[in-house]
Structure 1
Amino acid sequence: MYQAAENRYDTMKYKRCGRSGIMLPMVSLGLWQNFGLEKPVSEQGEILLSAFDMGITHFDLANNYGFPAPGKAEENFGTVLKSDLLPYREELIISTKAGYDMWPGPYGNWGSRKYLMSSLDQSLKRMGLEYVDIFYHHRPDPETPLEETMGALADIVKQGKALYAGISNYGEQEAVKAISMLRDLGVPCLIDQPRYNMLERGAEDGLFGALLEQGTGCICYSPLAQGALTNRYLNGVPADSRAARKGTTIGGRYLTEERLEQIRRLDELAGKRGQTLAQMALSWVLREPAVTSVLIGASSVKQLEDNAACLENLSFTQQELKEIDIILK
């Protein structure tokens, strides 16, 4: 019978999520990769329970996680929740999302009221939950009126199926409109989830400033550029790596020769700071005042522990930040 570590809150750092009552761990665990069919549920459980023992209270999912079996990550998480974590439900922040293709036909994608509400009902069943803490719209819908999408999120919160509403992959102008609509509906937008890392800095062009002004929190996904900002690819692409998997975009997106040269120079700087490249990349994301938490993935307990150790050195000198900018030019 699992019993959580008594010292689980001693070393984790927490930060207030915008102007809300919620404190999030500065490192959260995302189940985008590694929690579908990749490994036995028992191994997934070891990672999840180790995360909670480290004070990671926030677990982030989506309806389609678990590729090539959409929904499998929620199902597996529900299994571990039922067997081990359910006694600690009040200590957990569990989030899920809907917005990408999930089932056949015209109602299984994007941002309609029907899709969002149906998807959340399915997610709750897969996880064995009565509610999630945060329910996100996963991406903007260019066709459905934003009023319909935000109205559905607001009603979901008012129905008690989610405690908070969130948005993901929304740009600055889209985010401000969505946040304003939710506020008018009496349901503040708790959090935005953009892609942000050293190689993809679009969120700096207005989004972060808007979130600070609106009082909305921010949790960044893909902070390690799907593993590119680690030492895994410094000497080529290992056969067992994500970049070697069929259909992955990591190679063409991040592992060009020009990028690899930048990554090698960043790795040298990380070593001077007494960190791994991954740890420095995570610390760099967390340096941004608008960022509440950073979402990491983990294929093993060791990787989880190594990445969470980024919290041991979150400060950067102005010279280090300048050097990073020069490397990334």
Structure 2
Amino acid sequence: MTLDDLSSHDSEVVTPISTEYKGVRLWEPPPNSQGLAALLLLNILDNFPLKAAGHNSSDYIHVLVEAVRLAQTDAVRYLGDPDHVTIPLEMLLDKSYSHQLAQRIRMDRCVVMEEVEPGLMTGSDTVYFCVIDSQGNACSFVNSTYMGFGSGLVPTDCGFSLQNRGASFSLRRDHVNCVAGGKRPFHTIIPALLTDSATTSEKPVLLAALGVMGALMQPQGHVQVLLNMLEFGMNPQQALDAPRVYVQYDHTTEQWSVNLEEGVGQEVAEELRRRGHKVNWPITGHKRSQFGRGQIITVGDWWNPSVNQADPPSRVLWAGSDPRADGCAMGY
């Protein structure tokens, strides 16, 4: 990195990307972020009867795990700086493409997939918050220096450290995310918004501001929390509290593993092992931090199955804050 790299760089306004799922539209940041991974994951899962499978059942988690592996493999294959590489977003987000991916999933066993590109590390030192005001304006915000204290470099008299997102570049010359001067790396931070896809006006109706911190757990967390509300009728706090699944690729062993938080049944863990998954269960104590740390504010109780959806939408704000980290939900 040179001084010219920094002096010639300007912040820019980007257009979010989105996909529709059962009457709602999830909005994520575009490349060079991993927002695409969350949308791909949701599109693949749209091909399965998740509600009928049951929350955190062996069938539900098996499908989720296989879908995460497919979505994450594609995200790592295609994502980089859109100013330097062509990313086929339209093709990747087409429902017919996710249907093709879904057909690769077998219910009786896990499918062998190609390895994920080495070099994508996990990290922390991320903060997420969301705010919705009385006028309906919303902010979904993530800030992260990456890997604890970022680069460890503190500009003189500034009092903050410089970020270290360049650690997520690839060193493979033929990779879309290969390191180069004046280039932005693949990054993991993805604040999200949810709107009503049934709205006919040009201005969509806001349903929620949400986010789940935690490196490659973020798209997995977004989708699990969203499904908890949409498919299983949980309120925002219940959706954050519920036990989670974290699908992880180990670059040392070149194996995928499935980490199950305490609260997932032992019989589920055993059935997943029978289907060929490498399962770590139960994950307890401080190790639960790997399952992310989220915040949600919803506009109305659209997630409540007992609410008559024909009634005018409620303007009451509901909020939840993840018990796995510091945070709070508050009105003022």
TM (norm. structure 1) is: 0.24
TM-score, normalisation: structure 2: 0.24
Q: Write 1 or 2 for the structure with the bigger share of helix.
A: 1
More strand by share: 2
